Amino acid sequence: MRALLGELRLHTVCQSAHCPNQGECFARGTATFLILGNTCTRSCGFCAVDRGTPAAPDPAEPRRVAEAAARLRLRHVVVTSVTRDDLPDGGSGQFAATIAAVRAACQATVEVLAPDFQGSDECLARVMEARPEVYSHNVETVPRLYPLVRPQASYERSLELLRRVAAHGHGILPKSGLMVGLGESHTEVVAVMDDLRGAGCEALTIGQYLRPSSAHLPVERFVPPEEFDSYREEATALGFGAVAAAPFVRSSYHADALLKGVGADRVQI
């Protein structure tokens, strides 16, 4: 997997964000492609991705992602990106081009994990018009902790984005994700789950925050497995069609299984 990614000059969030499931997913022949480079314009307190001034988007990158997906014979392709507040379109055009390239190269469903595009309707519409099967956008944490965790983001803006995805229809599945262990209360997490369901979100992931380095936010608490079980049960009771909740769960963990679970019997991972 690493040889293929190196050959095609591709980034993955698995590597850039130090995902604890990297070995498992690479062994299964899956990865979450990170487009628009590997340097982010935001300074979120939890994220291991490099921050700074990114390079210009590579117009050949969508083709290389599609080639990797085809060579790996992926049936579900997950594409995410760094946040590119420096670009007029926020990188939405690169998302749309990547979806189109994957569609042309292989028979696969496509999931995007996209940034908030600073609330731009035009950017959101550009990605949705490419018709990914899943549109994921993470709220990451509870509103009270946004100044520490996501200082350049807005909880309400993220919820509104998910509302617009749900209202768009055309079979696009809205999905979101949360980290726990940053100092939030159980009640606050349940309130966020309720907000997400109210926004039309259908799939949810919940995982333990792990500190990437001493320069990042400290872990306030390691949440026990039984509490993740409780979150999973409460999310299902709220009406989420698919829920993955466990310490090592990340946004695209078993993403193909979550997609299959929505619209069938409710799935819990």
Q: What is the pTM of this model?
A: 0.92
The domain limits of the chain are: 2-268
> Taking all residues of the chain, what is their mean pLDDT, rounded to a whole number?
91
Separation of alpha carbons 258 and 241, rounded Å: 8
CA distances to 111, 136, 216, 239 from 245, rounded to whole Å, are: 19, 16, 23, 15
The answer to which of 27-31, 44-48, 236-240, 262-266 has the lowest mean pLDDT is 262-266
The pair of structure tokens assigned to 124 is 């959101």
- Examine the pLDDT at 20 and tell me if it is beyond 70: no
Q: Say how many Å lie between the first and final Cα of the chain, rounded.
A: 25
**Tens digits of residue pLDDT in 143-168:** 999 999 999 999 999 999 999 999 98
- The b/e string for 53-80 (b: 16+ C-beta within 10 A; e otherwise) is ebeebeeebbbbbbbbbbebebebbbbb
CATH architecture label of 2-268: Alpha-Beta Barrel (3.20)
DSSP string, 37-64: -SEESS--TT--SEES-PPPP-TTHHHH
Separation of alpha carbons 40 and 62, rounded Å: 19
User: 62 with 97: CB under 8 angstroms?
Assistant: yes
Separation of alpha carbons 205 and 217, rounded Å: 21
Percent of the chain with pLDDT over 70: 90
**Tens digits of residue pLDDT in 103-131:** 999 999 999 999 999 999 999 999 999 99
Give the residue-averaged pLDDT of 65-72: 94
